[in-house]
Structure 1
Amino acid sequence: MIGFIELIRASGFAADVRQVKLVRHKGDDLDMDQLRNEGWFETYQCFQSKPVFDGCTHIVSVIGEDATASRFVGIYEVQGSTTASPALLPEHCPYTQWGTESRVFYTLKKCPGFEDLEDRVVIDWGKGALAWHQWLTDRTIMEIRPRGRVLAPFRDFLRVHLSFEDLGNLATQPTAHKDWVAALSAVGGIYLIVDSMTGAQYVGSATGSGGIWQRWCDYAKTGHGGNLRLHELCREDIARARHFRFSILETFSRSLARDEAIRIESFFKQKLGTRVFGLNAN
């Protein structure tokens, strides 16, 4: 079976692997895919607490998933480094702590030509999962996902945490995400939408033949799904929906009576205070 180095070589990577590091990003306090969706991932990667990229001509970046699975997201040329400072942060960057002068700033340039592999190739990081940067040696390719695939495999309803961009990718690329479509279509449930700008929450419910999948497709199309206060936010700022994040609080049969679903929904609204402090109008 083809190895990872052979695969990127076939796509045009010609650097000496002895000067290349493989870097696995899996922050405990930051969601890497959310950083990418919001445009801050590459900034995050440039600022390091130690000179970990010294001696490298390139880094190969992956995002850690379950266990040792690691999803390829790009190759970057290391063009230089300097002492970090707040002045090196892009305008409006919310992560001001990255620019402290005790850190190192690397100038990294993304290499073109690997777009077809991004978010599709999943490699096995191996036993040294705690060592998040290593000199590049070959890795086993665990999976090559379908074109258009963005999300990791569906695992569990309570672990669902999707950005609005993720939701759009699901809705526009259902064939590439058959596992997600099947899971979300199979159940009704109570879901939570959080506005990541303010922390305000909205609780909703989904029943009927399409389950949660059909209801969330409405949000993917409009951003607000017809909900009053979400609609008001989107009317004030057409791009506001990109800050919404979607999760599932409880699942039940799609055939559950609507009155019972509303009763459960009301319980969660009361429990989370979303009528008084959140985005539920009723």
Structure 2
Amino acid sequence: MVHLYLSDLLTRCHYNDNRTLLIRHSLKHERFIKAYRDGFLREYTQKQLPHFYDAYDHVIVFSADEGTTAKYLTSYEVRHGASPLVAPDCSPFLLEPYKGEIMHPLFKIQRDPLQPYENKLYIEWGKAAVRWYQKGTNEKIITQLVNTGQFVFPGYESVLLTFQELKQIIDNPQLYADWHFALSAINAIYAITDCSNGKIYIGSSYNKNGLLGRWSEYALTINGGNLAFEQLGQQNPNAHLQFQYTILKVLPKDITALEAIEVENNFKRKLQTIQFGYNHN
């Protein structure tokens, strides 16, 4: 059987194998999971021991997948001599001292030819999975290239989204056409849980654009017009990064506002979100 190797793709994309480093982040590392979830993958990746990237111009980042496979996430260029860039809202835990590591100058690549393969390309990392970083010259078989022209909607009962995921869905209607269709086809009672403290907000949608219309407001404004979330955002601008969105009950598309609010109030009483959550009334 003839295999296609990662090195073949790198050559076509004009990457120098000798100056390229491959990194496979482990899903067992809580720091990686938190950084990836909150949108700080670059900051997490660039924090390494001194001189870690000295011999490289590019860094290709994967996450561990089933067995010894790895999923391609993104690539960075090493700008030797430049000052490291850290997002102003970077999670505090990434800025804390950690095992003598320092921030290195990693930057997103403009017009990166590998960008179309992000979250679609899978490789066999090899049996030495404990070697979480390896040279680009090491042969890696491409095991799968997923056609993710559209992301399939998993079903209403399976919807469980972070704010970053919600915004990704709302901002990319072509990639998430299935999601847009499904969310716009219903109204719903939904919950927003603050995973930092367990507090819950119960809301409902009852408009012609369905749940998609309501959740689009959160993606656009973060607080969605909710006073409690607005006040929380004033205290902590990153509070929404801890939010989790889910559907509690599917409602008919033609439900009236009074009917939806009645069901919403019933859930508020059951979960006591006025007394202990983010609902004010």
| TM-score for both structures, normalised by structure 1 | 0.67
What is the alpha-carbon root mean square deviation over aligned residues? 4.5
Equivalent position SS for 1:276: helix
Aligned mates of 1:106, 1:231 — CA distance in 2: 33
Equivalent position SS for 2:276: coil
Task: Describe how 1:262-273 pairs up with structure 2 within 5 A.
Answer: 262-273=261-272
Aligned mates of 2:22, 2:159 — CA distance in 1: 31
Task: Describe the shift of the 1:225–1:47 C-alpha distance in structure 2 as closer, same or farther (beyond 3 A).
Answer: closer
Equivalent position SS for 1:184: helix
1:180 aligns with 2:179: yes
Larger displacement relative to structure 2 (239-248 or 214-223): 239-248
Which one of 122, 125, 139 corresponds to residue 124 of structure 1?
Answer: 122
Task: Describe the shift of the 1:75–1:222 C-alpha distance in structure 2 as closer, same or farther (beyond 3 A).
Answer: closer
Q: CA deviation at 1:217?
A: 1.2
Task: Describe the shift of the 1:44–1:159 C-alpha distance in structure 2 as closer, same or farther (beyond 3 A).
Answer: farther
Aligned amino acid, residue 225 of structure 1? G
Task: Describe the shift of the 1:228–1:251 C-alpha distance in structure 2 as closer, same or farther (beyond 3 A).
Answer: same
Equivalent position SS for 2:275: coil
Which one of 105, 108, 112 corresponds to residue 109 of structure 2?
Answer: 112
1:72 aligns with 2:60: no
Question: Would the aligned equivalents of 1:205 and 1:265 in 2 still touch at CA under 8 Å?
Answer: yes
Task: Describe the shift of the 1:22–1:224 C-alpha distance in structure 2 as closer, same or farther (beyond 3 A).
Answer: closer
Alignment coverage as a number of residue pairs: 264
Question: Would the aligned equivalents of 2:13 and 2:113 in 1 still touch at CA under 8 Å?
Answer: no
Question: Would the aligned equivalents of 2:32 and 2:44 in 1 still touch at CA under 8 Å?
Answer: no
Task: Describe the shift of the 1:75–1:138 C-alpha distance in structure 2 as closer, same or farther (beyond 3 A).
Answer: farther
Unmatched 5+ stretches in structure 2? 81-85
Task: Describe the shift of the 1:249–1:56 C-alpha distance in structure 2 as closer, same or farther (beyond 3 A).
Answer: farther
Equivalent position SS for 1:95: helix
Correspondence for 1:23: 24
Correspondence for 2:141: 138
Unmatched 5+ stretches in structure 1? 80-88
Aligned mates of 1:5, 1:265 — CA distance in 2: 55
Task: Describe the shift of the 1:144–1:60 C-alpha distance in structure 2 as closer, same or farther (beyond 3 A).
Answer: farther
1:41 aligns with 2:35: no
1:61 aligns with 2:61: yes
Correspondence for 2:16: 14
Task: Describe how 1:74-223 pairs up with structure 2 within 5 A.
Answer: 74-75=75-76, 77=78, 93-95=91-93, 99-101=97-99, 107=104, 109-110=106-107, 112-113=109-110, 115=112, 117-118=114-115, 120-121=117-118, 122-126=120-124, 131=129, 133=132, 135-143=138-146, 145=148, 153-195=152-194, 199-223=198-222
Aligned amino acid, residue 24 of structure 2? V
User: Identity rate of aligned residues, in percent?
Assistant: 23
Question: Would the aligned equivalents of 1:189 and 1:251 in 2 still touch at CA under 8 Å?
Answer: yes
Aligned mates of 1:239, 1:56 — CA distance in 2: 38
Q: CA deviation at 1:130?
A: 9.6
Question: Would the aligned equivalents of 1:24 and 1:62 in 2 still touch at CA under 8 Å?
Answer: yes
Task: Describe the shift of the 1:73–1:254 C-alpha distance in structure 2 as closer, same or farther (beyond 3 A).
Answer: farther
Aligned mates of 2:279, 2:232 — CA distance in 1: 12
1:250 aligns with 2:252: no
Question: Would the aligned equivalents of 2:123 and 2:141 in 1 still touch at CA under 8 Å?
Answer: no
Q: CA deviation at 1:252?
A: 1.9
Q: CA deviation at 1:248?
A: 1.1
Aligned mates of 1:27, 1:232 — CA distance in 2: 35
| TM-score for both structures, normalised by structure 2 | 0.68
